[in-house]
Structure 1
């Protein structure tokens, strides 16, 4: 796998490649159908404006997040795009059998050759009860503890190279390399590169040790960003995939024409997180709902802390915030996730960021 399938090309005046992380947000008064239509529109827009990749995140049992099945959504997006890289940010490996993931992403690779990323996380992407339902076990610690072994198994399926004597030696992920060794088979020049995702040091160290690209969730674990990236770089060992570390950070960013609107949407994001953290997840609230909510002192403190890590305001303000974040972290790529009650605000945000950096518009 060539390293240039990982590294992005910087366009315009952006200091580093820019990408998109989509949670397929469902606002109150809207439907998942509308949210998914927005995602398809956003993927086309991101491609036309020079964003490098478009990832979808796996979450479960959250009414305001319609991305429980990244592989299904990505298959849909392959039909709406032609150039932009598509991937998972990420698939939560302990929730799934490695063979199933290898089959899903082998299928995606066949649909969009050379454009698929397989980002993996070890968290459940939901609460404990939902994770137990997904995994059919109450021993949730097993999935996290076994992550390195599950990862190794998944990579073996993707490469179709279990050693002789292994119980899975005669099992093959299809579509996959085994088709090239069948009579009349032709070897595909691509296979989805594996990324590790994380919000702490565990995945950072593992990604470095294995020589894999790493994506850090700065958007919800900002205080750990620099230590995790330092650990990743210190742990990095060159591999066939990468000869040097490559780190992406997820950034919550919202640009609007009116900075007051950005502040209103950010406060709604805060209420959404309050509900989630107190076990009452719902649809993404409107600014009007948020204004009517009576925040307790503790909730106000939480919202202020959460909002401090969201880069928001006018296009110039967002650009300044992203530039500063890049300088502080040295990230090789910034992956922007924009949260707003209405899909058109999310679309406008990415357009404003692209304009602020002078990203070209494809013909």
Structure 2
């Protein structure tokens, strides 16, 4: 399984202390369209590849006007056609929303399209609200699906490996593309989480763990401690591997950076208060009449976003690595427009001296 270990463990470029990667929410801002956001994602994947970012992952969300990443496998096939080297993956597929066989076939197809470049990150949450989760799963009891996560994970793994034992109800059922068609690669499986549940399960199974620090920063250190303490060496990993999702945005000056990340904070405020919408413009976010409670919420969100000039972002990321011992950072740049997001990843790469390579065509 050395190839799998190599696929999981990245290599830092320039002076970055750990490998840097991209988490793409395919955000849609006021005045924009999903089509434009998906074009930005392709441009971002090419940029990330040319500047030495290790991975480009796409998250699964549903019924959110400001997000266009409801179908990670479809988007990843699009990104695979626009890149040739960077690893591509899900950050993640919300497994309770899907039949394990369907996920195995989707990612088997992606592995066939982009051999050796696909990661399968799995989450237990719905990626949406409870009512949408029920509609997504065709059930009035969406929580029951989440409770079955370990069983579904084991089932998915057996479909990927095509190794159901004799006597199992699914023996002889094959995920295609897959091993039944001949020697093939297999996407590494990652567990994602924002609490201790997935941390412990990832440790017990010896899988790499991606923690959503950008979503739940207060729980980061306890979850990582639990993952490392519960880790058991496996055929996949002989030591824990932590990928940390981080909200980070670099701009030309601190004021510009704050104006951009304020748009994401207001979008989250609206989502949390039952008013989801497109990501507002910086002007709209600045003019919004925040109540004291809303201002407190927004300032709390901004405190957890690493933002400022490129050097300030670099210092913040270095401090985060030192504090958490993360093996890899996956940056998500929350901003209204695609240009600001692309510029942020360029500035971070410049700050770390990540060399620029020729981008592939296509």
**One fold, TM greater than 0.5?**
yes
1:197 paired to 2:199? no
Q: Secondary structure at the match of 1:334?
A: strand
TM-score of the aligned structures, taking structure 2 as reference length: 0.97
Of 61, 64, 73, the residue aligned with 1:62 is 64
Separation in 2, partners of 1:65, 1:343? 13
**CA drift at 1:267:** 1.5
TM-superposition CA deviations, 1:196-245 (whole Å, max 9, x none):
00000000000000000000000010011011111101111111111111
Of 204, 209, 216, the residue aligned with 1:214 is 209
The equivalent of 1:234 in structure 2 is 229
The count of corresponding residues between Structure 1 and Structure 2 is 356
The equivalent of 2:98 in structure 1 is 96
Separation in 2, partners of 1:292, 1:51? 35
The equivalent of 2:322 in structure 1 is 327
TM-superposition CA deviations, 1:93-149 (whole Å, max 9, x none):
000000000000000000000000000000000011100000111212211110000
The equivalent of 2:280 in structure 1 is 285
1:257 paired to 2:259? no
**CA drift at 1:292:** 2.4
TM-superposition CA deviations, 1:292-350 (whole Å, max 9, x none):
21111110010011111000000000000000000000000000000111100000000
Equivalent runs, 1:308-327 vs 2, <5 Å: 308-327=303-322
TM-superposition CA deviations, 1:3-29 (whole Å, max 9, x none):
111000111100000000000011100
The equivalent of 2:122 in structure 1 is 120
Of 343, 348, 351, the residue aligned with 1:353 is 348
Question: Unaligned regions of 5+ residues in structure 1, if any?
Answer: 181-186
The equivalent of 1:38 in structure 2 is 40
Q: Secondary structure at the match of 1:251?
A: strand
Question: Unaligned regions of 5+ residues in structure 2, if any?
Answer: none
CA RMSD of aligned residues (A): 0.7
Of 70, 73, 89, the residue aligned with 1:71 is 73
Separation in 2, partners of 1:291, 1:310? 17
The equivalent of 1:343 in structure 2 is 338
The equivalent of 2:148 in structure 1 is 146
The equivalent of 2:296 in structure 1 is 301
Moved over 2 A (4+): none
The equivalent of 1:6 in structure 2 is 8
TM-score of the aligned structures, taking structure 1 as reference length: 0.97
**CA drift at 1:248:** 0.3
**CA drift at 1:58:** 0.1
